[in-house]
């Protein structure tokens, strides 16, 4: 238990430092879905609130999307027992997603868009300047490969970014944490996990295929995920093909320069 806790704390500390995530006086909204990642995120944020040399506030927020059978009592009890400031937002996004998504299509993108908008609104209402999400290292690598193979772009989930309106900074403090460590930690602490019934039945998602592909690679070449994560932090625009990032047009050799 101690080993995996220390491992996660080290990875979160590294992400916070590397990407300058937290400053004195911040009020951070920690988004809690009821999954293993968000429970781990909250625990990590509470730990650093306690030990950090700076002062910042945390409020845990859950969006009750009115999914059928959602156990409404679990999170309020858990958060009250933890003695954490929290807010439960009730919004029937489930109904909207079910109405708008054609049969057989995945609900994930619409669901996350609606959820994101509601959470940003809540952060403003609560006077938060930052918002923390529970995405981890595997999510970042999978998103990069999804975009690479299916969307035709080199893009992933950044550890820190500003929302479109420019009034909120979004953080991913678990960016450098392995999903397997989070799983171990969640099992040891026996978090009261709430499954997501909205997307749980969609077995053929592209993300699932990518996850399986990475797992296969890891079998043949252990630690591939670490190498991919390093690659995302080690970018050479001059050795890619995006002319908006690198000025290929005005590139000249020394020979040409010296001949004039």
Task: Give the CA-trace dihedral at 215, 195, 119, 42, to 10 degrees.
Answer: -70
pLDDT of residue 240: 95
Instruction: Say which residue, 14 or 113, is predicted with more confidence.
Output: 14
pLDDT of residue 107: 57
For residue range 194-241, list pLDDT tens digits in order: 887 655 445 447 888 999 999 999 999 998 999 999 999 999 999 999
pLDDT of residue 63: 85
pLDDT at 256 over 70: no
Instruction: Say which residue, 164 or 204, is predicted with more confidence.
Output: 164
Residue entry with tokens 């030990």: 51
- Rounded Cα distance between 58 and 45, Å, is 8
For residue range 20-75, list pLDDT tens digits in order: 999 999 999 999 989 999 999 999 999 999 999 999 999 999 987 767 777 889 99
* 170-177 mean pLDDT: 98
Instruction: Say which residue, 85 or 259, is predicted with more confidence.
Output: 85
Q: Across the strands, what pairs with 130?
A: 28, 169
Element (H, E) at 87: strand 86-90
Q: Across the strands, what pairs with 161?
A: 170
- Rounded Cα distance between 12 and 138, Å, is 14
What is the phi/psi pair of residue 170, to 5°?
-105, 130
Q: Are 92 and 64 in contact (CB under 8 A)?
A: no
CA dist list (Å): 228 to 15, 16, 152, 153, 252? 16, 20, 18, 16, 32
pLDDT of residue 201: 47
pLDDT of residue 203: 46
Cβ neighbours of residue 147 closer than 8 Å, sequence gap 6 or more: 153, 154, 155, 156
**Token reading at 224:** 């591939």
pLDDT of residue 67: 73
pLDDT of residue 71: 84
pLDDT at 5 over 70: yes
For residue range 77-122, list pLDDT tens digits in order: 999 999 999 999 887 656 555 655 666 665 566 567 677 888 999 9
- Rounded Cα distance between 123 and 87, Å, is 11
Nearest of 62, 83, 40, 42 to residue 190 by alpha carbon: 40
**Token reading at 231:** 């690659």
């Amino acid at each position: 238990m101690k080993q995996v806790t220390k491992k996660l704390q080290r990875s979160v500390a590294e992400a916070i430092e590397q990407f300058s995530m937290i400053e004195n006086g911040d009020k951070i909204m920690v988004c809690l879905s009821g999954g293993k990642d968000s429970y781990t995120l909250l625990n990590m944020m509470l730990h650093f609130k306690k030990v950090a040399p700076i002062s910042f506030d945390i409020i845990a927020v859950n969006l009750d999307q009115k999914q059928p059978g959602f156990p409404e009592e679990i999170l309020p009890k858990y958060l009250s027992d933890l003695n954490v400031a929290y807010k439960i937002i009730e919004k029937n996004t489930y109904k909207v997603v079910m109405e708008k998504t054609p049969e057989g299509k995945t609900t994930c993108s619409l669901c996350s868009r609606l959820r994101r908008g509601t959470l940003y609104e809540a952060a403003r209402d609560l006077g938060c300047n930052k918002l923390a999400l529970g995405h981890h290292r595997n999510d970042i690598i999978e998103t990069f490969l999804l975009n690479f193979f299916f969307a035709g772009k080199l893009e992933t989930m950044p550890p820190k970014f500003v929302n479109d309106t420019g009034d909120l900074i979004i953080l991913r403090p678990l960016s450098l944490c392995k999903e397997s460590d989070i799983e171990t930690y969640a099992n040891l602490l026996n978090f009261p996990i709430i499954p997501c019934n909205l997307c749980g039945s969609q077995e053929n998602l592209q993300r699932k295929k990518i996850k399986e592909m990475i797992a296969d690679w890891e079998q043949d070449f252990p630690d591939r995920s670490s190498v991919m994560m390093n690659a995302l932090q080690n970018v050479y625009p001059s050795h890619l093909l995006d002319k908006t990032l690198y000025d290929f047009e005005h590139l000249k050799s020394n020979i040409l320069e010296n001949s004039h």
